[in-house]
Structure 1
Amino acid sequence: MKNKKSILILLPVVVLIWGGVLYQFFSFSSADEVLENNSMDLNIKPFKLKERNTFLINVNYRDPFLGKMYTTQEVAKTKSVAKISKESKLEEAIVWPSIIYKGIVSDTKEKNKLFILIISGHDFFMKKGDVENGILLKDGDKESVYVKYKGDLNLIMLAE
């Protein structure tokens, strides 16, 4: 009899809670309301940046472990900058022509496989080691090929 009293009390409470949840859900999705498009004029003020105060920390103090004063190493910094500038001059940006790998023509079990590559809009049938328009075909399979252009190696995936 005790269980029946709790069911009689809890069942209406659960029904009321679920009813409230369903009412909230369907009241937000009703199409009866018409939204008005109010064009609002926005006044945008430019954001003013305050100039930051800069400061310099002087780190010329005694080394706590060695007991010596720090020495400036500006000579080493200028040498490293010079090395970086020389390396950047040697490395030029390599502009690759457009390369599209269309697939393999020959049987994949053959020793000499024949690949279809579209290089700058022209179709080429290439074998391993062939060079067309400065592009060397290094290796490949049915999903991708390795091509080399001006010493730079690149992986080209199969185009769908």
Structure 2
Amino acid sequence: MKNKKTTYILLVVVLFVWAMVIYQFFSFSGGSEPIVENHTTLNIKPIQAPKRDTFSINVNYRDPFLGKMYNPHNKKATRKQNTSNKPKETIVWPSVIYKGLVSDSDDKRKVFMVMIKGKTFFMREKDTEEEVKLLKGNREFIEVKYKGKKNKILIQE
């Protein structure tokens, strides 16, 4: 008889919980109340960060293990590089656009569709068009060389 009594009590508790869940669900879905928007202006003040205090460590002290004073590296080994006043030559790359792989990817010699300065070229690896040399490539990108500088170009569709 005791089992039936607890079963009935648990049944009532379960029904009460489900009734609350259903009530909560339907009470949120009824959007008959108007939504009021509050437009408030926020005044944002920048935070003043404190200036950091810098310090340096003096490492000119006796080595506790060797008993010798600290000796910086030999300054003879550092050389000044030849800095000439020649302006470095800036290279202006032509517009190079990689359109895709034309041949099968299984072929040993792949053919790539490349647009250089608005002209379309079908190039293979190590071909040169408009002073642009195609070094290597795959479906996602090609690597080209122009006046000694290499560049990696992604596919554009």
Bucket of the pairwise TM-score, normalised by the shorter protein: 0.5 to 0.7
**Distance across 2 between alignment mates of 1:5 and 1:31:** 42
Give the counterpart letter for 1:131 in structure 2: T
Which of 119, 124, 148 aligns to 2:121? It is 124
| Greater percentage in helix | 1
Shift of 1:117: 0.8
Q: Equivalences for 1:5-154 in 2 at 5 Å?
A: 5-73=5-73, 75=75, 79=78, 96-106=93-103, 113-141=110-138, 144-154=141-151
Shift of 1:63: 2.0
Further displaced range: 109-118 or 125-134: 109-118
**Distance across 1 between alignment mates of 2:45 and 2:93:** 46
**Distance across 2 between alignment mates of 1:22 and 1:151:** 73
Distance 1:103 1:16, change over 3 A: same
SS at match of 2:13: helix
Shift of 1:136: 0.9
SS at match of 1:100: strand
RMSD over aligned Cα atoms: 3.9
SS at match of 1:43: coil
Give the counterpart letter for 2:111 in structure 1: L
Give the counterpart letter for 2:32 in structure 1: D
Distance 1:111 1:43, change over 3 A: closer
Q: How many residues align?
A: 154
Q: What TM-score do you get using the length of structure 2 for normalisation?
A: 0.66
For residues 112-144 of structure 1, the C-alpha deviation after alignment (integer angstroms, 9 at most, x for no partner) is 543311124321122332212332122345565
Give the counterpart letter for 1:48 in structure 2: Q
Distance 1:116 1:51, change over 3 A: closer
Distance 1:107 1:72, change over 3 A: closer
Further displaced range: 109-118 or 131-140: 109-118
Identical residues among aligned pairs (%) = 51
Structure 2 residues not aligned, in runs of 5+: none
Give the counterpart letter for 1:101 in structure 2: Y
Structure 1 residues not aligned, in runs of 5+: none
